[in-house]
Copies of this chain bind each other. A is one copy, B any other.
Amino acid sequence: MQHYTFPPASSPQTGAERILNACARRPVDSTPIWFMRQAGRCIIEHQEMRKKYDLMTMLKTPELCVQATLMPVQAYGVDAAVIYADIMLPLEAMGVDVAITNSGPVIHNPIRTLQDVEALRIVEPEESVPYILESLRLLRSEIAGKQALIGIAGAPFTLACYLIEGQPSRDYTQAKTLMYSQPEIWAALMEKLSTVTASYLVAQIKAGADVVQLSDSWSGALSPSLYRRYVLPYTQRVFAAVKQTGQPAIHYGASTAALLEAMTEAGGDVIGIDWRMDLDAAWERIGTDHGIQGNLDPTFMVTPWPVLEEQTRDLLRRADGRPGHIFNLGHGVPYATEVDQIRRLVDTVHQLTAVQP
């Protein structure tokens, strides 16, 4: 299921080649770069689409999803197109009544009992999210290897937190209370979520994704020992399924400064880190047998260019040209970011890291 054959090192690389090379820690002709949440937030054409269509329509109509996915590629010159999707989508067919609001997903029937978990259905992705797979197929032929196509999914822990809390939460107290107090309900839920997430990512790869990113945005709410007990075995199962496809995976989490070793053990060819760490120190802990993605503080996107440039140079110094670095922010692009600022950052990263032939 390897989508590309790699050209000789002297010829200029496509974005897809840069990303896939970085995932395999092979040399690149420039450090690849993309942005989490690159679709939408800062693009005027996207906001105009959002006035015409509601969010669910945009997510579920392949033509619109494809447009939203490609806009940032054209606007910014990034090396990857990341599917315009929401991590809650594969849960709908399980029987989860979810509304995606501006402040995050709201679940009208949150999970609280073993019966709630037992009622969740395991549905194959072709049936639960046919529109995403269709979007990926369209994107694949549209992109034709120029950029890497990235599929995404939420990790079981983060999905479970949403399902139990029912709404965005600061501390996940309800979810963690259930996890600590009723481990058998937790295990049953995580079992189902890891099964669904694994087949969802594998289906995205089959439909054309070159790389997948599993985002465990809330895993930083746990200590390493509790993460290993309640989360790692399930996340590991997801990565094991992806590994069988032969395509690489990125494992992202926020506030994971204590979790890096455990996250790396859970899986992923590349570990995505947030801005709360220094990249060089983090990479040392992750190990040179893994790539690293990140990790500019998103706040720098709304500072004057010289400030952003200085910090970009600092980050590249920390990456030190070692194969395996994918440039990204430590979290999503801030809404207030100017398109020109993003474009200039992309060009600068490419120029500063360009290898002379």
Residues of A within 8 A of B (CB): 171-173, 176-177, 180-181, 220-226, 255, 257-258, 275-278, 281-282, 297-300, 302-304, 307, 311, 314, 334
CA distance A224 to B281 in the complex (A): 10
Query: CB-CB < 8 A to A307: which residues of B?
Result: 180-181
CB pair A299–B258 under 8 Å, yes or no, is no
Query: CB-CB < 8 A to A224: which residues of B?
Result: 277-278, 281
Closest beta carbon of chain B to A231's beta carbon, Å:
13
CB pair A222–B276 under 8 Å, yes or no, is yes
Query: CB-CB < 8 A to A311: which residues of B?
Result: 180
CA distance A257 to B298 in the complex (A): 19
- Besides A171-B299, A181-B303, A223-B278, 14 more A-B contacts (Cβ < 8 Å) are A171-B298, A177-B299, A177-B302, A180-B307, A181-B304, A221-B276, A223-B275, A224-B277, A225-B278, A225-B314, A226-B297, A257-B258, A257-B276, A258-B281
Query: CB-CB < 8 A to A176: which residues of B?
Result: 297, 299
Query: CB-CB < 8 A to A314: which residues of B?
Result: 225
How many copies the complex holds: the figure is 2
CB pair B278–A220 under 8 Å, yes or no, is no
CA distance A303 to B182 in the complex (A): 9
Query: CB-CB < 8 A to A257: which residues of B?
Result: 255, 257-258, 276
CB pair B180–A299 under 8 Å, yes or no, is yes
CB pair B299–A278 under 8 Å, yes or no, is no
Across the interface, name the chain B residue whose C-beta is closest to A302: B177
Query: CB-CB < 8 A to A298: which residues of B?
Result: 171
Query: CB-CB < 8 A to A222: which residues of B?
Result: 276, 297
